[in-house]
Amino acid sequence: MPYIDPKYRTRLDPAVDTLAEQIMSCAREAGGDAAFAGFMNYSCTRLAMAVVRGLFGGVKYWIIALVSGTFQNIADEFYRRVGTPYEEKQIKKSGDVDYYEEFNRKLGA
């Protein structure tokens, strides 16, 4: 979970906001609604590699596992907090896939 002491947030947030502005600017320039994804991917990858290089000078298995696990946790948290509520709203709006409804009934959900 991305919960850190507020004293660190105040140090990191301005840099994150500046990076976000640059990502949005590049995405607008490149065009296309999904252009931001490549710029976010590049930026997050480069950030992770810069931190690893700065702290450790290279990689070892445990660093790879920790960084990839962090990215997986970011994805899981984003989906849980943003994706799931969006999906639930769309199910209420348009209806569910019939097989999900069938299986959920059988499971008593």
Q: Are residues 72 and 37 in the same domain?
A: no
Regarding whether 90 and 77 lie in a shared domain, the answer is yes
| Number of domains the chain contains | 2
Q: Are residues 2 and 51 in the same domain?
A: yes
| Judgement on whether residues 48 and 7 belong to the same structural domain of the protein | yes
Task: Tell me, yes or no, whether 51 and 11 share the same domain.
Answer: yes
Q: C-alpha 32: how far from its chain's center?
A: 20
- 11 and 33 share a domain? yes
Which tens digits make up the pLDDT trace of 40-82?
999 999 999 999 999 999 999 999 999 999 999 999 999 999 9
pTM: 0.85
Q: What is the pLDDT of residues 92-101, one digit of tens each?
A: 999 999 999 8
- 27 with 36: CB under 8 angstroms? yes
Q: How far is CA 38 from CA 18, 19, 81, in A?
A: 17, 14, 22
How far apart CA 22 and CA 16 sit, in angstroms, is 10
